[in-house]
Homo-oligomer: A and B are copies of this chain.
Amino acid sequence: MMKKQLIMEKALELFAKQGFEATSVQQITEQCGISKGAFYLAFKSKDELILSLIDHFMMQFTSDLDCIVRDTEETNEVLYKFYYSNFSSFYKYSDFAKTFMKEQTHTFNEEFILKIHYYDSQLEKIILCMIERIYGKNLPVKLDIMYSIKGFTNIYSHLFLFSQVPFDLHQLAQSLVEKTELLAKHAKVPFLTEELYQNAKHPVTEEQQKEKILEIIDQKTDELKDDSIVQESFSLLKQQLHEPAFSPAIVKGLLENIRHHPNCQWITYLLQSYWKI
């Protein structure tokens, strides 16, 4: 349908300039030279429009990269082609890329978030597949390399999209290939383990979270035997975790007791987010 395409194009231009929420359906229809009713004939809602845009572009972007990673015969060319294709897509779909980067973390719409997560994990799969093709399945820092690649593409895309300077994509790709190769061949200190990665991707249930917190408390209690205040605080927090009894002020105070201890920041954070305080 022609209308749909027209709306998508014009809307995207506006979204790129102003953001999704700041752009009204009115503005979109004016830009298209159509009526408000016509808009709602093409799309059920404003949300459906952005969802369609995400699908349209991300399918293109993702499959482009997938083809390159799968079809490039020479493994020593894959990385270069990956980076080059990545940045030229960002250029080609720059309006979409801008909108996407803007709204990437907005939480106002559940479906929206799910879609973005879906395509993000697809991209991660593609990068991992590429890494395995080039460096073999058993590269110990595989996941960190994947994250480094994502970091590189993100930060340079940002520069690329939000400045007006002409970039030499060839030089950029070459420069990133060298960096990636260096990291893949020499980096030995891992951070992202398979387990950590899986956990980060699949957020745990409240019950599982509680188990994990108790585990860490036990560990920390053991580590900090010489501080009786911390010992007691942990003990009381553990009670509270099993059966809420103390007032918010008391809980807050107990958390304060442990917050400033070395290596206790994370457990403090976990407890806070568990109790939503």
Contacts and interface: CB of A to CB of B under 8 A. Distances in A.
A188 B177 CA distance: 11
A19 B104 CA distance: 11
A94 B156 contact: no
Contacts of A216: 166
Interface residues of A, number: 67
A126 to B, nearest CB: 16
A106 B190 CA distance: 35
Interface string A54-79: 00000000000000000000000000
Contact of A107 (B18, B175, B179, B273): B18
A19 B108 contact: yes
A263 B168 CA distance: 9
Interface residues of A, dominant DSSP = helix
A175 B191 contact: yes
Interface in A115-159: 144, 147-148, 150-152, 154-156, 159
A201 B158 CA distance: 12
A101 B105 CA distance: 8
Interface stretch (A41-49, A227-235, A249-257, A264-272): A264-272
A174 to B, nearest CB: 5
Contact of A17 (B19, B107, B166): B107
Interface in A162-215: 162-172, 174-179, 182-183, 186-191, 196, 199-201, 203-204, 209, 212
Most buried by B among A94, A201, A212, A266: A266
B154 A94 contact: no
A2 interface: no
A31 interface: no
B164 A203 contact: yes
7 contacts: A17-B107, A102-B106, A147-B155, A164-B270, A166-B267, A178-B189, A183-B183
Interface of A: 17-19, 21-22, 88, 91-92, 94, 98, 101-102, 105-108, 144, 147-148, 150-152, 154-156, 159, 162-172, 174-179, 182-183, 186-191, 196, 199-201, 203-204, 209, 212, 216, 263, 265-267, 269-270, 273
